[in-house]
Amino acid sequence: MKILIINGPNLNLLGKREPTIYGNLTLEQIELKISDSAVQLDMEVDFIQSNHEGVLIDSIQQASEKGFSGIILNAAAYSHTSIALHDAIKSTNTPVIEVHLSNIYAREDFRHHSYISAVSIGQISGFGLDSYLLALRAIKKYLNYE
């Protein structure tokens, strides 16, 4: 079971960026911890981070042909703005779990709406690194039950 972990804009700055909200781990450290967890769960993971909406759309469109059975997506600020990402998820058969490090509902009003949620199988928000680790378990269960 191969899962693609997609991180969107500004998440390359994790560790330095607003650590009181996003924590001290860098994206590389988060990815290493996800990889460790994937080994234990007998899953394969691959990662992409981009600050560009089109690159995120391309990776969602291409996930299936590249052999991924599921996607864990932190679209960051594009979650709140991107109808194009919404449409890309809707256009693919690859199931997507939406994740956020922070609890988007406890923050500014403009973060309370996500264009990703309605086209995802579920959303995990507010648990920092654990949002990704929980999503990994959730997508494994989801795919096994399918």
Q: Which residue has the tokens 């607003």?
A: 18
**61 contributes a contact to ligand DQA by CB under 6 A:** no
Q: Cβ closer to ligand DQA: 2 or 111?
A: 111
22 is catalytic: yes
Answer yes or no: 113 catalytic: no
Q: Which of 22, 78, 115, 132 is catalytic?
A: 22
User: Which one of 78, 86, 100, 115 is the catalytic residue?
Assistant: 100
Which of 77/121 has CB closer to ligand DQA? 77
CA distances from 101 to 31, 32, 58, 68, 110 (A): 13, 16, 23, 23, 16
Does position 101 interact with ligand DQA (CB under 6 A)? The reply is yes
User: What is the C-alpha to C-alpha distance for residues 115 and 37, in angstroms, rounded to an integer?
Assistant: 28
Q: Where does residue 27 rank: exposed (0-12), middle (13-18), buried (19+ CB within 10 A)? A: middle
92 with 74: CB under 8 angstroms?
A: no
Is 74 strand, coil or helix? strand
Near ligand DQA by CB under 6 A, which window of 30-38, 55-63, 74-82, 134-142?
A: 74-82
56, 6 contact by CB (below 8 A): yes
Segment contacting ligand DQA (CB under 6 A): 25-33, 37-45, 58-66, 95-103?
95-103
Q: Which is nearer to ligand DQA, 59 or 69 (CB)?
A: 59
Report the interface residues with ligand DQA, using CB under 6 A.
Answer: 10, 74, 76-77, 79, 100-102, 104, 111
Q: Which active-site residues does the annotation give?
A: 22, 100
